[in-house]
Chains A and B, each alone.
Chain A
Amino acid sequence: MALSAEDVARLAALARLDLTNAECAELAPELDVILTSVAAVGEVAGPDVPLMTHALPLVNVMRDDEVRPSLPREVVLAGAPDVEEGRFRVPQILSED
C-alpha cells in the first residue's frame, strides 16, 4: 500500500514537523521508495533468520545500583531556553479552556 500525502501529514504532525501540503505530497512517494526498499529485506530473510532488533547479540547488560556524580546545576541549566529558581522554564502548555 502506497504512502499517501495524508499519511505524511499525520506523521509530520506527530513529529511536530511543519510541512506544507505541497511538501507532504512531494515526500510521500519519496518515503514510499525507502519503505519499499526496506521491506525487500523482509523477503530475503527466511524463517531461519531470527528477529533482530539490536546490532549485537547481547542480553543483560546491567550496572550495579551505585550513585555516581550528577552534572553541576549550572551545566544542566546552560542548555535551558529559560531558567527560574534553578528550574527549566517553559511557555504556557495549555491555554485557558
Chain B
Amino acid sequence: MFLRLVLRNALRHKLRTALTVLGLVVAILAFGLLATVVDAWYAGAEGASATRLITRNAISLVFPLPTTYREKLRGVDGVTDITTSNWFGGVYITEKNFFPQFAVDGESYFRVYPEFVIRDAEYKSFMRNRKGAIVGRKLADTYGWKVGDVVPLRGTIYAGNWAFEVEAIYDGRDAKTDTSQFFFHWAYLNETVKRQMPRRADTVGVYIVNIADPGRAAELSMGIDEQFRNSLAETLTETEKAFQLGFVSMTEAIVVAIRVVSYLVIFIIMAVMANTMAMSARERLSEYATLKALGFLPRRIGSLVFGESLMIAAIGGSLGVALTFPVAAKFGQAMGSLFPVFNVSPETVLLQAACATTIAVVAAIVPAIKASRVRIAEGLRAVG
C-alpha cells in the first residue's frame, strides 16, 4: 500500500513528473558524459604501465637524445628492455585530421608495449617493409584504412611528403588501450634525415625503459639521470604515468572547468527537483494531515515524500545512465582521435547513481520535514 501510494503520488501530475524526469535524464547524462571526457583526458596516464620509465632530454621534449644512450641504459641494473620513440607530427590531407604518429624501433617497441596486439603475419610483413606502418583499429576505422593502403603524410617537423604502407592493424589488449596511434620504422625516418638534415640524424625523441621492479622506479630514474649528468644531452627520467600527467597538467584548467560545469548541472537539477517536491508537498498538506489524523506517524509521512523523490530520481537516473553508453559511443566516434579512449567507466556509473540519490534525498529533505510536521488541525483546514 505504501509503495502504491508513493507511485501514484509520483504520477499524479504526469506532465510535471515527466518534465522533472526529463531534466534528471539530461543532467545525469550530461554529468556522465563530462565525467567520461575527464576520464578520457587522463586515459593515457591511467593506461600507463608501472614498469615503464620514459627518459627524455632534460631541457625539453623537443630536443632529442642520441642513439648512443641506448647501450648505457641497457647496462643499468634493473632495466629489462629498452625501446625508442620519435614524435613525427605529420599531416594527413588536412590539419584537422590529427592523430599521433611515432617513428619507433619496431623490433623492440611492441615487446615493451604488449598491450598493442598484432597478428603475427601482419607484424612480420611490417618488419619486412621499411615503409610499413602499424595503425590502431580505431584510427583505421576512422579513415577507412585497411592493410595494403598507402597513407600519405606531409611532414612538419621532418619536411617533405612521406608515404607509408599499412601492413598491420593493432587492437588493444583492453578497453583502456589507445588504438588511435600510427607507428612506422624509425630506421626509415633516420635514413631520410641523414640525407636531408644530417645533424638531426641518429637521434630519438624518448627512450622507453622497461624495469623489473616498479618499486625501484624512483631509484632507477635518478640513477639513469645521474649517468648522463654533465653530458651534452642531460636526461629527465620519470614513470610513464608521470610523463603522461605532464601533458594533462598543461590543460588542467579545462579539466577543472569541465568538472565545475558537471557539478553545476547536478546542482541546478537538484534545485528543480527540490522545487517539484516542495510544490507536491505543499499541495498535499491536507492529505498528510488526514494521514496523521488516522494515526500515521510523522516519519511515515516524511518517508512518503522521500519515497516519491527517490522514485522520480531512480527513473530519471536509470534512464540517464542507460543513455550515457550509446551517447558516449557516438560522442567518442565524433571526437575521432582527439579522445583515443572514450569509455564510460564503472566509477562514472557509480557517480551518476550517487548523484541521482543525492538529488533525491537533498530535494526531499525540506518538504519531508514540512509534511511530517504539519499540524493536523491546520492541515485539515487547508481543504476547500
Q: Answer whether A and B are interacting partners.
A: no
Footprint of A on B, CB under 8 Å? none
Footprint of B on A, CB under 8 Å? none
